[in-house]
Amino acid sequence: MDITDLPAHALSSAILKRQVSCREVMRATLARIESVNPVHNAIVSLRDGDVLLREADERDGQLKRGTTPTGPIAWMHGMPQAIKDMAQTAGIRTTLGSPLLCDFVPTQDGLM
């Protein structure tokens, strides 16, 4: 089974039990986005893949140590997440679903 087909609880369990690495999950997620996004156009902006893989490596290190800079490991640790294009995210193109904002890159995060 493809990692990207797992439900969130199963993927989280596999990550926390170290049956799969955060890097493997991110690599599979990036490959899936690359294969389906040209058809579905669901991802408006995607951060650099190398940066995402480095962050996944950091998450793997935190998992090995059993802690994060902000405290204990949580169930979403290492899980890929997408932010809806309706939420302003600093430094990431955010269109709010409008062609008029196709080049809008907020300088700060919006309120949630």
Instruction: Give the residue with greater pLDDT, 80 vs 41.
Output: 80
Same domain, yes or no: 102 and 112: yes
Any idea which residue has 């058809």 for tokens? 39
Query: What is the pLDDT, as a whole number, of residue 20?
Result: 98
Same domain, yes or no: 64 and 104: no
**Is residue 99 packed enough to be buried (19+ CB in 10 Å), middle (13-18) or exposed (0-12)?**
exposed
DSSP 8-state symbol, 91: T
Query: What is the pLDDT, as a whole number, of residue 43?
Result: 92
- 50 lies in which domain range? 3-81
Same domain, yes or no: 56 and 109: no
pTM of the predicted model as reported, rounded to 2 decimal places: 0.87
Residue 106 confidence (pLDDT) above 80: yes
Query: Helix, strand, coil % (nearest 5) of the chain?
Result: 45, 5, 50
Same domain, yes or no: 7 and 42: yes
Query: What is the pLDDT, as a whole number, of residue 47?
Result: 93
Q: Which residues have a Cβ under 8 Å from the Cβ of 1 and sit 6 or more positions away?
A: none
**Span 55-92, pLDDT tens digits:** 999 999 999 999 999 999 999 999 999 988 888 999 99
